[in-house]
Amino acid sequence: MAVTRLTEQTQTLKGKTTEVQTKLSSCPETSPHLVGPLHVEFNWSRTMEAVRTECGSSLLEGGRYKPPDCISHHKVAIIIPFRNRHQHLIQWLYYLHPVLQRQQLDYGVYIINQDGEGMFNKARLMNVGFAEALKEYNYTCFVFSDVDLIPMNDRNIYGCFSKPRHLSVAVDKFGFMLPYSTIFGGVVSLSKEQYLAINGFSNNYWGWGGEDDDIYQRIAIKSMSITRPDMATGRFKMIKHERDVHNELNLHRGEILEKTSSTMEEDGINSLRYTINKIEKDTLYTFITVDIGSPK
């Protein structure tokens, strides 16, 4: 009898929840919670537990969030390729969760951790993030972000637009200037359709360099162009660090890049191979440790 009564109560609650949800309207095109320029300072004594305490109350398991009072225009998976950058991740989570919530995004944070000590492959990890995020939710937008880049203006929306978007256009490392006109790296966004049209990222860039230029070529080959925020809105602060071990300069990036137009249909999300070793659900993120193999 008690079980029956509980079931009835649950169904009633579910009905009320559904009724409330159907009454929600779309969020405003521009969130009223944005504040504009942000002061960013890195605190190296900050702990992950402190960030959980400060930022975790509004989050669901896995670093998921939805605006409570409206339906977001953006269903966004934030993909971070990762290895041995835990202090950087603490800073990123501390700043980005409040920004993403003020932007009224329906989002999840996915940390794609390359297992082992082999040569790093950032682009392949980003492909893994795309594939794994879609197993959990019907994301329509994907933001690919380096873990060491923090936005300095919350009006730089981590969402998707009618064209692929380059968000990190004015990084302090480069004097808040665009290094070159065809750069498409650091923090970028692509809709699901845009990403699939270019077959995602190349899987063949082992070590540092080349994958950003490759994806720009893919976009151009498919007759798309990119958009950027203005230089004031697109300001970012980079966490200074030394080049990671096993992420040495890719000496073959030029010759791979020359072949992009002839290889992109077979080299990308449709040829991705990987093995999931572990998935951890934290309040602040979903941490996926993956074996992506090694250079042939």
Q: Nearest to residue 78, comparing CAs of 30, 136, 139, 33?
A: 139
Residue type, 98: P
SS (H, E, C) 138-199: CCCEEEEECCCEEECECCCCCCCCCCCEECCCEEHHHCCCCCCCCCCCCEEEEEHHHHHHCC
Percent helix / strand / coil, the chain, rounded to 5: 30, 20, 45
Q: Catalytic residue positions?
A: 146, 148, 208, 211-212, 238, 241, 243
CB distance 155 to 36 below 8 Å: yes
Which two structure tokens, joined as six digits, stand for 104? 């009224």
